[in-house]
Structure 1
Amino acid sequence: MSESSPPERRRRVRAEARRNVAAILDAAIQVLGQRPQATMDDIAAAAGLSRQTVYAHFPSRDALVTAVFRRMTDEVLAGLDAARLDEGPAPAALRRLLEVSWRTFDRYPPLPAPTGAADVELHQPVHDRLTRLILRGQRAGEFDRDAAPGWLVAATIALGHAAWAEVVAGRMPADQAVAAVQASVLRVYGAEPAD
């Protein structure tokens, strides 16, 4: 008689696969943060797993980097949902959105973002939340009503990337960068300065 039933064995295999994926992603974040050009072999070694196990879950480096971005996006979305962006004045909600996003990005290595469909899929939920916030602020007269929401989203992303690049290059401390992003984005939105 077997040690465990087929359903129990499947549960164990799925649990092990989840642990392996988590270990691979944790290792990728650590290793790529130190050495952006690290190989899949480097990541496998840091995860304490075989190269074959890593490739079984992520068939390419691009697939692994996309999974890192997916994890980051999931964290941002959870943080944004907890920040209750539909409550309170829109400028205050925008500051919360920027703070949550920055805190999450600060925990991840600066990697080139996925391109094409993966980029759209990963960014769309964040874009949707930001667009809803912009429209709410415009209806309330808290944001410039003449500014196209798509432009404000693009400007927000560009300012965030510019600030992150300054931090990565060592030209600006992270706390100054997040303050600069918040102030700059609020200006672009035509919002009143914070008290």
Structure 2
Amino acid sequence: MQTTDAPGRTPQRKDAHSNRRRILATARQKLLEDPDASLDSISQAAGVARRTLYGHFPNRHALIADLTQEAGHELRQAFARARTADADPSQAVTRMVLAAWTVGDHYRMLITLGRRHQGEDEIRTALAPARSEAVATLRRGQREGVFADHLPAPVLAQALEALMLALAEENAAYP
């Protein structure tokens, strides 16, 4: 049985999707335990042939990039679940921080890996949607007098993001 993956991509068999999900889940765990885990050790732990892993991810960078995209998607979903129409800005920021922490803890190995292999620009790009939502909430809080306005909302959002990344990176030292 084949399914269509994404527009413009070749249809994949149903087991290809389950293999891909299994590889990604195994990679998250293996890279959490050992950020230098090889693709061979990941394929072995996932119970797939090396050829299967390389069919989905031609190299380590591609695997890490996919994990980064997955983390960004989960972060957007977590923010959507945390969003409430009647939350005041301080409650909204608190809910976003808690949602981000949950996702960040699940993908904490990406902070170190991202800085080593992808660079700060790819991390910033992956976090851009979350940052935009934080900026909007902080701006609303500044307009309503809940947050001080001596710094622009984008600067405050960047400070909050940097703090969260630093905490997650420090927390990664204590698996």
* TM-score, normalized by the shorter chain, greater than 0.5: yes
TM bin (shorter chain):
0.7 to 0.9
Q: 2:157 aligns with which of 153, 158, 161?
A: 153
Please give the alpha-carbon distance, in whole angstroms, between the structure 1 residues aligned to 2:154 and 2:47: 44
Where 1:147 maps in the other structure, the secondary structure is coil
% identity of equivalent residues: 29
Question: Would you say the 8 A contact 1:33–1:110 is kept in 2?
Answer: yes
Query: What is the TM-score normalised by the length of structure 2?
Result: 0.84
Please give the alpha-carbon distance, in whole angstroms, between the structure 2 residues aligned to 1:76 and 1:85: 16
Counterpart of 1:82? 81
Q: Deviations over 1:77-99 (max 9, x none)?
A: 11100111553110111110000
User: Which has the larger Rg?
Assistant: 1
Please give the alpha-carbon distance, in whole angstroms, between the structure 2 residues aligned to 1:149 and 1:137: 9
Question: Would you say the 8 A contact 2:108–2:169 is kept in 1?
Answer: no
Q: Is residue 127 of structure 2 the alignment partner of residue 135 of structure 1?
A: no
Q: Deviations over 1:25-84 (max 9, x none)?
A: 001011111111000101111111111111111111111111112111111111100111
Counterpart of 2:2? 10
- Gap runs ≥5 in structure 2: 4-10
Question: Would you say the 8 A contact 1:29–1:109 is kept in 2?
Answer: no
Query: What is the TM-score normalised by the length of structure 1?
Result: 0.76
Q: What are the residue-to-residue correspondences of 1:6-155 with 2, within 5 Å?
A: 9-11=1-3, 13-84=12-83, 86-111=85-110, 112-113=113-114, 114-115=118-119, 118-155=122-159
Alpha-carbon distance change, 49 to 66 in structure 1, aligned in 2, over 3 angstroms: same
Please give the alpha-carbon distance, in whole angstroms, between the structure 2 residues aligned to 1:137 and 1:86: 14
